[in-house]
Amino acid sequence: MAGKIQLVFLDRDGVINRRPAGRRFVTCWREFEFLPGVAEAIHLLNQHSVWVIVATNQRGISMGLYSESDLQDIHSRMQQALGTKGARLDGIYYCPHAPGECECRKPYTGLFEQALRHLPPIDRADILVIGDSDTDMVAAHRFGCRRILVGLDRDSASITLANKGISVGFSCESLLEAVKGYILR
């Protein structure tokens, strides 16, 4: 039986920040926009001693749209901005590869496995993945942990998942709703 959530993996784009209109990638800090309630949600997780790790696919690097240095700048500024609101990420793991080039890119579980090598032992039943796509949920399913689908487009992702025989534990509009309505209920 699953116990208290000890670790939450967050997808970045669509969970923490808004995807740019008409584009698929955030390429620099000026394009980064936090979604409402994100800092509060992460702060609540921090207060309840839950590890918070970002696991994000960043294929734009392999496409030459931005560099790993650009991504590091975005993540550094993201951490600083969260810190001003009392929120903290315990790690950020990213896959810079194109599909089919690696085992770290979601829907594979390599990013999760990398993170667990740096943490104390945690039962997978006490791990939760929060994402906005079927790719995030497939990775969570393969990893054997709980999953929450967030975002405005979650209905189409739910249909895709149902066709793959994968259920989602909880579905809601935002990270803050996921934290308040599922994790801390």
Can you give the pLDDT of all 185 residues of the chain as single tens digits? 357 999 999 999 999 999 887 768 999 999 999 999 999 999 999 999 999 999 999 999 999 999 999 999 999 999 999 999 999 999 999 999 999 999 999 999 999 999 999 999 999 999 999 999 999 999 999 999 999 999 988 888 888 899 999 999 899 999 999 999 999 88
Please report the pLDDT score of residue 1 as a whole number: 38
What 3-state DSSP class applies to 141? helix
User: What's the longest Cα–Cα distance across the chain?
Assistant: 45
Q: Which range of residues forms the domain containing residue 168?
A: 12-183
Would 79 be classed as within a structural domain?
yes
Domain holding 115: CATH number?
Answer: 3.40.50.1000
Residue 148 counted as domain residue = yes
Nearest C-alpha neighbor of 176 from the set 17, 36, 34:
36
Model pTM? 0.95
Residues with Cβ within 8 Å of 151's Cβ and at least 6 positions away in sequence, in order, are 14, 15, 132, 157, 173, 174
Please report whether residue 5 resides in a domain: no
**Residue 41 within any structural domain of the chain:** yes
Total domains present in the chain = 1
Whether 28 and 70 have beta carbons less than 8 Å apart is answered as yes
Does residue 7 lie in a domain region?
no
Residue 153: per-residue pLDDT: 81
In a domain, 135, yes or no: yes
Residue 109, domain member (yes or no): yes
The whole-number pLDDT of residue 2 equals 55
Q: What are the catalytic residues? A: 11, 13
Question: Is 42 strand, coil or helix?
Answer: helix
